[in-house]
């Protein structure tokens, strides 16, 4: 599974994150609490921290 930070909202928060081909809006504070399944066959990119 790939998590990709697409962009930030104009005011800096929330973030638009793409995974599984869908874009989800997520706040920074909550993005930090994501539980990510790190399977061997799925490269993972963590959302860039500002």
Partner 1 sequence: MSSPDAGLLVALVGNPNTGKSTLFNALTGLRQRVGNYPGVTVSRKSGTCDLGDGQKVELVDLPGLYSLAAASPDEQVVIDALSGNIAGDRRPDAVVMVVDATNLLRNLFLASQVAELGLPLVLVLNQADVAKEQGLRIDTELLSRRLGGVPVILTSAWKGEGIPEVRRGLAEALSRRTPMKRVAWPVDIAGALADVAQAASADTGKAISAADAQRLLFDTNASTAERLGWTLERREKPLRSARERVRNSGYNPMAAEPLVHYAQLRVALDGVVSEGLGKAGRTAAVDRLLLHRVLGPVLFLGIMLGFFASVFWLAKFPMDWIQLGVDWTKGVVAPPLEPYPMLQSLVADGILGGVGAFLVFLPQILILFLFIGILEDSGYMARAAFIMDRLFSWCGLNGKSFVPMLSGFACAIPSLLSTRTIEDPKARLATAFVVPFMSCSARFPIYALMCAAFIGPLYGPGWESLVMVGMHCVGLVFAVPTAFVLTRLVLKVKPQPFVLELPRYQMPKPRDVVWRMWQNAAEFVSKAGTVIFAITIIVWALSYFPRDASVAERIRSEHPTESAEKVKARVQAAYVEQSYMGRFGKTIQPVFDPLGFDWKITVGVLASFPAREVIVSTLGVTYSVGEGAEADSQDLRRAMQEAKWSEGPRAGSPIFSLAAVLALMVFFALCSQCGPTIATLAQETGGWKWAAGSFVYMTTLAWIVSMAVYQVVIRLT
Q: What is the CA radius of gyration of the chain?
A: 11
Residue 50 binds to partner 1 (criterion: CB under 8 A): no
Site for partner 1 in 22-41 (CB under 8 A): 22-27, 29-30, 35, 37, 39
CB of 21 to partner 1, least distance (A): 6
Residue 14 binds to partner 1 (criterion: CB under 8 A): yes
CA nearest 2: which of 30, 50, 42, 33?
Answer: 42
CB of 7 to partner 1, least distance (A): 6
Q: How many CA atoms lie within 13 A of 47 on its CB side?
A: 25
């Amino acid at each position: 599974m790939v998590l990709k930070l697409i962009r930030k909202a104009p005011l800096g928060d929330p973030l638009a994150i793409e995974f599984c081909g869908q874009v989800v809006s997520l706040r920074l504070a909550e993005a930090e609490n994501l539980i990510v399944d790190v399977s061997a066959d799925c490269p993972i990119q963590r959302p860039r921290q500002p």
